[in-house]
Amino acid sequence: MTSSERLTIRQLHYFVAIAEYGSFRRAADRLDVTQPTLTAQIAALEASLETQLFERSRSGTWPTSAGRELLPSAHRVLEEVRGFADIARTLSGGVGGTYKMGVTPTLGPYLLPHILPSIHAEFEGLKLLVREAPPSDLEEGLKLAQHDVILTTLPVVSQDFVVAPLFREPLKLAIAREHRLAGRARINRSDLLGEEVLTIGEHHLFHRQISDLCKRLGASVRRDYEGTSLDTLRQMVVMGMGMAFLPALYVKSEIRSEDELRVTDVRGVTEFRNHALVWRPRSPARVLFRDLADRIREIAAKSLSDVVVPLRS
């Protein structure tokens, strides 16, 4: 028996998990197996390959150079295995399976509650494991097969993915009730000249969009205060640290009264975020992901038409 014949899918799954979590202990917890079991399986895999896959120290665990070279292949093998199971379910008349969906933290929490109940009702047996990350990290994770599909904000940098546009989401201006502009019936573009605008951290695509918008308006991004989330950003506005542009889905989800701040449009300013569902072109679940994109557009047109504008596929 050759070494490749002694390999198991479980061993490859364990190999990928340890590389992802950077620790045998954390991987064992996530996989719901004992650490000795995990260690034994990796030792067996290394013996079969005659190659050391990990280096371990007190500070953590990381792949060796050989492990890094083998990791993309392991991801592809596991993806093909999942695709094999998906095809079998399709042939038997069902649509199901478990998929890892990456979402941006400025979109996922405020969109998913509107779409997941309908999707789970329609696609019986489908499970989506959701993980938040900034758009750049989502793209990298999709490339490495850490995600099966991502729900992200455009533009997508890589040309190697299938991009299905979903909808356009406007941005709203939030200002404190004590702000000099709060009492105006209409706020114009020229009113924002010289104003300080708050935003979230620089590693978010949303930060770059707001920075570009401020340049066009003659406003300035307040560099000494950066929110870690949209909730933090809202609280900073309430405390009078500046104004902020907030995504319309966030406003619909989280701001139910204007007792503390005013949310409004700005005459002469039309700023949107475009969102898309993105997956690898050779993904075995590509037909399912295309159907999901169509369903999300339908839900947006029916249930969120007061907030977003669906985009053509």
pLDDT reading at 267 higher than 80: yes
Determine what percent of the chain is predicted with pLDDT higher than 70.
Answer: 94
**pLDDT, tens digit (0-9, with 9 covering 90-100), for 30-87:** 888 899 999 999 999 999 899 999 998 877 899 999 999 999 889 888 877 777 766 6
Give the domain range for residue 38.
4-74
Q: Which CATH number belongs to the domain containing residue 94 in this structure?
A: 3.40.190.10
pLDDT reading at 4 higher than 50: no
Kindly state whether residues 150 and 282 are assigned to the same domain: yes
Kindly state whether residues 281 and 266 are assigned to the same domain: no
pLDDT for 42:
93
Last residue of a domain, one of 74, 89, 122: 74
pLDDT for 145:
82
Kindly state whether residues 80 and 151 are assigned to the same domain: yes
Structural contact between residues 142 and 278, judged by C-beta atoms closer than 8 angstroms: yes
Q: Strand 60-63 to strand 261-264: parallel, antiparallel, or no bridges (unpaired)?
A: unpaired
**Cα→Cα distances 250→16, 106, 173, 269, 300, Å:** 35, 8, 12, 19, 15
Q: Which CATH number belongs to the domain containing residue 27 in this structure?
A: 1.10.10.10
pLDDT for 1:
43
pLDDT for 30:
83
Kindly state whether residues 59 and 80 are assigned to the same domain: no
**pLDDT, tens digit (0-9, with 9 covering 90-100), for 182-222:** 888 899 999 999 999 999 988 888 999 999 999 999 999 98
Kindly state whether residues 51 and 102 are assigned to the same domain: no
Kindly state whether residues 64 and 117 are assigned to the same domain: no
pLDDT reading at 92 higher than 80: no
Provide the domain count of the chain: 3
Last residue of a domain, one of 74, 106, 121: 74
Kindly state whether residues 265 and 293 are assigned to the same domain: no
Among 78-82, 85-89, 104-108, 286-290, the range of highest mean pLDDT: 104-108
pLDDT for 88:
62
Kindly state whether residues 59 and 141 are assigned to the same domain: no
Across 248-258, average pLDDT: 88
Last residue of a domain, one of 46, 74, 102: 74
Confidence band of 149 (pLDDT split at 50, 70, 90): very high
Kindly state whether residues 177 and 265 are assigned to the same domain: yes
For residue 131, give the nearest of 149, 113, 155 by alpha carbon.
149
pLDDT for 90:
57
Kindly state whether residues 133 and 281 are assigned to the same domain: yes
Kindly state whether residues 47 and 128 are assigned to the same domain: no
pLDDT for 95:
57
Give CA torsion, residues 29, 35, 39, 41, to 10 deg. -70
Kindly state whether residues 283 and 163 are assigned to the same domain: yes
Across 17-40, average pLDDT: 89
**Cα→Cα distances 302→49, 103, 114, 171, 271, Å:** 54, 22, 11, 20, 22
